[in-house]
Structure 1
Amino acid sequence: MIVLGIILLIIGFVTGISILWTLGIVLVVIGAVLWIIGAVGHPVGGRKHYW
């Protein structure tokens, strides 16, 4: 999710499409939050680790 967000950020920045930029930021933030929650040991989506 983080990688997809970064790709969308790059494409949005290069092409000037603001919706891709916004979606990229949202995906990066959600991915980072899920990664942190999984890293501290809390179950995410029924799994003990996010990755």
Structure 2
Amino acid sequence: MLQSAFLLNESICLITSINQSMVYNINTIVFSCVEKKIQTTIKRASPSSA
């Protein structure tokens, strides 16, 4: 019983860290995409305003 509880705890720990790293990666991807969009928007806006 104790061993199965330990294994369950280990799996939860593993799943949690996988989820956290996935969320981190998604955030990084989204942020870089947004950053590129902002940069292209600024580049497009600059000549017209200047």
TM-score, with structure 2 as normaliser: 0.50
- Higher relative contact order (Cα pairs below 8 Å, separated by 6+ residues): 1
Which has the larger Rg? 2
Q: Which has the higher helix share?
A: 2
